Structure 1
Amino acid sequence: MMKKTNNWILTAIQLGLLAWSGAALAADKVYVANEGADTVSVLDAASFKTLASVPVGKSPHNVQVSPDGKVVWVTNNGEPNQVAASVHKEMVKSEHSAMATAGAVWAIDTSSNAVIAKVPVGPHPAHVVVSPDGRFAYITNGGDNTVSVVDTSARRVVATIPVGKFPHGLRISPDGKQAYVANLKGGTVSVIDTASQKEVAQIPAGKGPAQVGFTPDGRLVLVSLSEENAVAVIDSTTRKVIRKVAVGTVPIQLYATPDSRTFLVANQGSPKKPGKTVSLINLESFKVVKTVMTGAGAHGVVVDRDGRYAYVTNTYANSVSVVDVKDRKVVKTVPVGKGPNGISVTP
């Protein structure tokens, strides 16, 4: 009798754990910066439904969830009523118009969807990333060729790092020791040492580098070359380009799968000739093994931690495509705000 009772208890515990794990999975969220709407859309990662639309600063371009999942950082141009032109509405020939007004990075509490901090940074902020330990946020300032480093606890800028011309996208290495910055108009990738908070190298990459992405194993860095319709592959040890891979028109954001085997590249195209695809690059053959049709103006891309889904913002279609990574097809299209650009998912 005791054995049967124990078995029943174990079964109940296992079912409870499964239910808890399912609830945790259902709580995962996707955050989308809607540049033309001055909002951040919050999507449920399980149902793909829109949970909230959070008003933020003017022309939010990029978002990043902190490693603990508690805060979302979003780059923008300050208060919505601030007099400033939208600088990311259209990326024609991979260039943005510079602006003189100071930008900002705002922090959103993920439990309440409330804005809890507003930190001034440099002019024309583009992308934001957070260090693996959650201590610092790094923001590219295209208007003055710098990267702002924000202390996430103190919520203030603690360093300003000069980099290449018109820095746009950036990512931090998996070990947290380096940040790679795509200098859109400089044709280079800056390497920042995160311990000293200084630029230690500039790597010639090609024309119009828009964003960078590390493989999770830290071995390779891929760079989208928006003016070459290609991706440059950098060996992170030698800091040299070892090859280039042709993709779609005006590639912008790119992201690796957790197993370091595949990179997804969003091909935005132009307003007159929108790109509608995501290229999947096999990192063993360095060839595009699949081209997935998404929506007009494929711009931002992120892959969830399990490697099951990729989320792609369609800038000109005001939507997000959900791509099944294994089946290599779109399984859902979700309407969001106007001009979606950056996108991030709960770690």
Structure 2
Amino acid sequence: MNANRIMSLIAVAQIAFLVSAGPAFAAGGKVYVADEESSTVSVIDTASFKKTGSIPVGKNPHNVQVAPDGKLLWVTNDGEHDKASERPEHEGMPKSEHGTLADAGAVWAIDTATDTVIAKIPVGMHPAHVVVAQEGRLAYVTNGGENTVSVVDISVQRVVKTIPVGASPHGIRISPDNKQAWVANLKGGTISVIDIQTQKQIAQIPVGKGPAQVAFTPDGRLGFVSLSEENQLAVVDPVSRKVIRRVKVGSVPIQIYATPDSKLLLVANQGTRGKPGTSVSIVVVATSKVTATIETERGAHGIVVDRDGRHAFVTNTYANTVSVLDIGERKVIATVPVGRSPNGISVMP
């Protein structure tokens, strides 16, 4: 048996053990950040609000997601660093131009107890976001380069289903009842609705221009999607699958996240590199009104709320920092330097 085969079997065994083991193995008190241009994942301590580590990963890590049980962190990237794109003739070339030189993208698994990479699973081209269903057996990855979602069986460490969706799938979230996955199709102007049981797209919801990320209130009563090309948030009825209202927010809204009590929705307003956004809009769910705007740093992009609903963590893509927000006080209480172009962000459950 060759060395690569042995290492693969070891990784499968490690993942199977972590999935089946009890919650005592889960680490805590960490926020993870995908540093897209540094090819790293930064680790932030939630007690001190300081960066405590940096994990080398593959090329262009875009999004991270801690599994519901906290044992594994998943990160999307464009695979291993290839020598072709690092040659002098490719220096300074936009990623979109030399990306075709690479193989398919990947999703990597990181053991949160040790913050080490334990598995690398090939998926589709240019994967964007990853989520894990609540039972912890399947991961879903949006492949922006080929208009599909890869379904990864975590226990066997491979893709078991590829689901066609809309144009340029980006953000993805699992519904609170664990029955559906909603996908924001960035260039399609729609949300794809995937049935978790059948692993098929069962609907596309027209929403508007530039849908970047979706969200649900934890009580499951409402869904949301950020419309990055309209500077709006669309509120979606999960039953009728229709947009029921729109909310004006900041410039180029990207990631959105609801508080655990389903009362507030936080929206990160990135803006553009030439005119960066520097704010998070706080929307009251009951009224669909923006009641506060918190100033962060340049390029507010990714956002996550901790399990207590006390703090939010925001990646500032153009400032290479993470802002820590006190939601109740409506203010930034810490700013943490991280790697270059921080993008996706996730917190331990």
TM-score by length of 2: 0.88
| Structure 2 letter corresponding to 1:157 | V
C-alpha change, 1:45 and 1:169, in structure 2 (3 Å) is same
Mapped contact 1:163–1:190 kept (Cα < 8 A): yes
Equivalents in 2 of 1:330, 1:240: separation in Å? 35
Measured in 1, the distance between the counterparts of 2:345 and 2:170 equals 15
Aligned-partner Cα distance in 1 for 2:83–2:219: 42
Distance in 2, matches of 1:98 and 1:238, equals 42
Q: Which amino acid aligns with 2:33?
A: V
Kindly indicate whether the alpha-carbon contact (under 8 Å) linking 2:27 and 2:71 is maintained by their aligned counterparts in 1: no
Deviations 1:278-299 (A, max 9, x none): 0000011101000000010000
Q: Is the 8 A contact 1:26 1:46 kept in 2?
A: no
Equivalent in the alignment of 2:258: 256
1:45 and 2:46 matched = yes
Contact 1:30 1:345 in 2 (8 A): yes
Q: Is the 8 A contact 1:56 1:80 kept in 2?
A: no
Shift of 1:50: 1.3
CA distance in 2, matches of 1:27, 1:147: 29
Query: Could you say which residue in structure 1 is the equivalent of 2:135?
Result: 133
Give, in whole Å, the separation in 1 of the partners of 2:71 and 2:142. 22
2-structure distance, mates of 1:306, 1:84 = 43
Residue aligned with 2:105, SS: strand
Q: Give the deviation of 1:119 after TM superposition.
A: 0.3
Cα distance in 2 for residues equivalent to 1:204 and 1:196: 22
Amino acid corresponding to residue 44 of structure 1 in structure 2: D
What code does the residue aligned with 1:340 have? P
Matches within 5 A, 1:57-136: 57-81=58-82, 83=84, 99-100=99-100, 101-136=103-138
Residues 20-69 of structure 1, C-alpha deviations (whole Å, 9 max, x = no match)? xxxx9993110000001000001111111212100000000000001111
Code of the aligned partner of 1:159: K
Superposed CA deviations along residues 226-256 of structure 1, whole A, max 9, x for unmatched, are 0000000001111100000000000000000
Map 1:181-260 to 2 at 5 A: 181-260=183-262
Instruction: Supply the distance in 1 between the matched residues of 2:256 and 2:241 (Cα, whole angstroms).
Output: 19
Corresponding residue for residue 293 of structure 1? 295
Per-residue CA distance 1:85-114 (angstroms, 9 max, x = gap): 99xx999xxxx7795441000001111111
CA distance in 1, matches of 2:252, 2:189: 15
Letter in 2 for 1:261: K
Q: Is the Cα–Cα contact under 8 Å of residues 257 and 267 in structure 2 kept in the other structure?
A: yes
Q: Distance in 2 between matches of 1:304 and 1:82?
A: 39
Q: Secondary structure at the match of 1:107?
A: strand
TM (norm. structure 1) is 0.88
Q: Are the aligned partners of 2:26 and 2:69 in contact in 1 as well (CA < 8 Å)? A: no
Residues 26 and 70 in structure 2, CA contact (< 8 A), matched pair in contact too? no
Q: How many residues align?
A: 318
Identity of aligned residues (%): 65
Within 5 A, what are the aligned runs for 1:252-291? 252-291=254-293
Structure 1 residues 26 and 136: CA distance shift in structure 2, 3 A: closer
| Residue in structure 1 matched with residue 8 of structure 2 by the alignment | none
For the pair shown, which has the larger CA radius of gyration, 1 or 2? 1
Is the alpha carbon distance of 1:25 and 1:280 closer, same or farther for their aligned partners in structure 2, counting shifts above 3 Å? farther
Structure 2 Cα separation of the partners of residues 190 and 98 of structure 1? 29
What is the distance in 2 between the residues matched to 1:299 and 1:131? Answer: 24
Residue 326 (structure 1) shift: 0.6
Tell me if the contact between 2:169 and 2:183 (Cα under 8 Å) persists in the aligned partners. Answer: yes
Q: CA deviation at 1:80?
A: 2.4
Asked if the contact 2:85/2:98 (under 8 Å) is kept, the reply is: no
Alignment match, 2:160: 158
- Quote the residue 2:33 is aligned against: 32
Structure 1 contact 170–212 (Cα < 8 Å) conserved: yes
Which structure 2 residue ranges, 5 or more long, are not aligned?
1-24
C-alpha distance 84-227 of structure 1, shift in aligned 2 (>3 A): farther
- Measured in 2, the distance between the counterparts of 1:82 and 1:228 equals 39
Shift in alpha-carbon separation, 1:98–1:269, aligned structure 2, 3 A: farther
SS at structure 1 position matched to 2:340 = coil
Local SS of the residue matching 2:156: coil
Q: Cα distance 1:284–1:35, how it changes in 2: closer, same or farther (>3 A)?
A: same
User: Post-superposition, which runs of at least 4 consecutive aligned residues in structure 1 deviate over 6 A?
Assistant: none
Q: Quote the residue 2:148 is aligned against.
A: 146
Residues 81, 90 of structure 1: CA spacing in aligned structure 2 closer, same or farther, 3 A cutoff?
A: closer
Corresponding residue for 1:172?
A: 174
